[in-house]
């Protein structure tokens, strides 16, 4: 298969971890007789340095002309980076919102998996960690508070900020369909998370999800209020399969779920539209404090590349090969600094990439 992939290396540790993912993808191509045409695209601080803005229209067109996008990380230290002294609409994170909207990436898939080799890193009780868990958070990505109307005004001499939470039935229905389809390929359970006891948007969310569920009688649906879900994630994460929720709730819950696994450096993500096109990136940030030190964990980015092969190209065997290779490396006791414990073998970012590549 011939694949066209736009590559956004980004900022901080982004170039380092993307390099390792590409190394693994190239090995997959060699073993399974595929070909990848990579096109580099600037975004975030790297784009600001060259173009004065975090994402150009030309960059968006390059991504649209590709089959998928592989991304590292975006942004720097807001307290010290000159990127945060320019107007907000041109800052690194503005590029993220722009690319999601421009590419219609409304569905964010974030797996939260506790690898058995990393049970010691899990902050939960040992008996819970030993069970292991494998859930996926399906977050609506282009609606809600983050994209609603906003303004700051002065009313009666008092400065007042207003953010608008808005969802249409169409936006809810399409993300719900994605969740049920993914659940069918997993354990056939969807937990829809809302705040329907308070918010009109959540009441519409629950009503629409119920309607979609009628087309998936083989998938179990349960509803859960977001505050209860936050509690249940740390009480018993094994109860979840696919968690379906809106933009802000998903942002918060996916970060909580990532820390339950013990290291955000192990967590991949995909942002997809209504076709097979997707943007694939690790769940963690740019970690500017360790950029250039060759100590970052590239496994989340490598796992994101595996998701890309699986979801955008239908190459399940190749994705399985990458995941098996990672498990072999962990079984053999190799760890980057973020998941290292005494008695194991500490390796660098590039060494971890080499080890995974060699086992495919």
Catalytic residue among 49, 77, 120, 227: 227
Catalytic residue among 255, 328, 346, 354: 255
Q: How many residues does the chain have?
A: 360
**Residue 195 designated active-site:** yes
Contact 258, 150 (CB under 8 A): no
Catalytic residue among 67, 194, 241, 251: 251
Q: What are the structure tokens assigned to 112, written together?
A: 């939260």
Catalytic residue among 98, 178, 195, 280: 195
**In whole angstroms, how far apart are CA 142 and each of 56, 108, 129?**
19, 9, 34
User: In whole angstroms, what is the distance from residue 260 CA to residue 133 CA?
Assistant: 10
Nearest alpha carbon to residue 81 among 67, 92, 68: 92
Contact 154, 260 (CB under 8 A): no
Count of Cβ atoms closer than 10 Å to residue 25 Cβ:
25
Catalytic residue among 131, 146, 187, 354: 146
**Residue 37 designated active-site:** no
**Residue 251 designated active-site:** yes
Kind plus residue range of the DSSP H or E element containing 244: strand 242-245
Angle between helices 349-358 and 316-331 (to 10 degrees): 120
Nearest alpha carbon to residue 140 among 176, 99, 180: 176
Residues marked active site are found at 146, 195, 227, 251, 255
């Amino acid at each position: 298969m011939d694949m066209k992939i736009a590559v956004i290396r980004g900022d901080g540790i982004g170039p380092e971890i993307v390099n390792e993912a590409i190394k693994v993808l190239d090995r997959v191509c060699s073993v399974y007789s595929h070909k990848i045409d990579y096109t580099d695209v600037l975004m975030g601080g790297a784009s600001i340095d060259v173009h004065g803005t975090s994402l150009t229209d030309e960059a968006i067109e390059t991504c649209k002309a590709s089959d998928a996008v592989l991304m590292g990380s975006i942004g720097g230290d807001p307290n010290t980076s000159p990127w945060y002294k320019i107007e907000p609409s041109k800052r690194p994170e503005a590029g993220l919102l722009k690319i999601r909207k421009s590419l219609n990436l409304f569905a964010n898939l974030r797996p939260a998996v506790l690898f058995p080799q990393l049970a010691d890193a899990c902050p939960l009780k040992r008996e819970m960690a030993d069970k292991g868990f494998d859930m996926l958070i399906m977050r609506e990505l282009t609606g809600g508070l983050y994209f609603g109307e906003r303004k700051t005004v002065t009313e009666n001499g008092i400065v007042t900020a207003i953010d608008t939470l808005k969802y249409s039935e169409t936006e809810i229905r399409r993300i719900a369909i994605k969740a049920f389809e993914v659940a069918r390929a997993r354990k056939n359970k969807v937990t829809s998370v809302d705040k329907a006891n308070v918010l009109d948007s959540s009441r519409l969310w629950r009503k629409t999800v119920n309607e979609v569920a009628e087309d998936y009688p083989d998938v179990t649906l349960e509803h859960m209020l977001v505050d209860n879900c936050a509690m249940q994630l740390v009480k018993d994460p094994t109860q979840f399969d696919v968690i379906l929720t809106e933009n802000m709730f998903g942002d918060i819950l996916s970060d909580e779920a990532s820390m339950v696994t013990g290291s955000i450096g192990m967590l991949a993500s995909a942002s997809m539209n209504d076709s097979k096109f997707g943007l694939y990136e690790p769940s963690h940030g740019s970690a500017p404090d360790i950029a250039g030190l060759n100590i970052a964990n590239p496994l989340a980015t490598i796992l994101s590349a595996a998701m890309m092969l699986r979801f955008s190209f239908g190459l399940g065997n190749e994705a399985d090969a990458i995941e098996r290779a990672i498990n072999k490396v962990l079984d053999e006791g190799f760890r980057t600094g973020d998941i290292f414990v005494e008695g194991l073998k500490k390796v660098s970012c590039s060494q971890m990439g080499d080890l995974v590549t060699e086992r495919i």
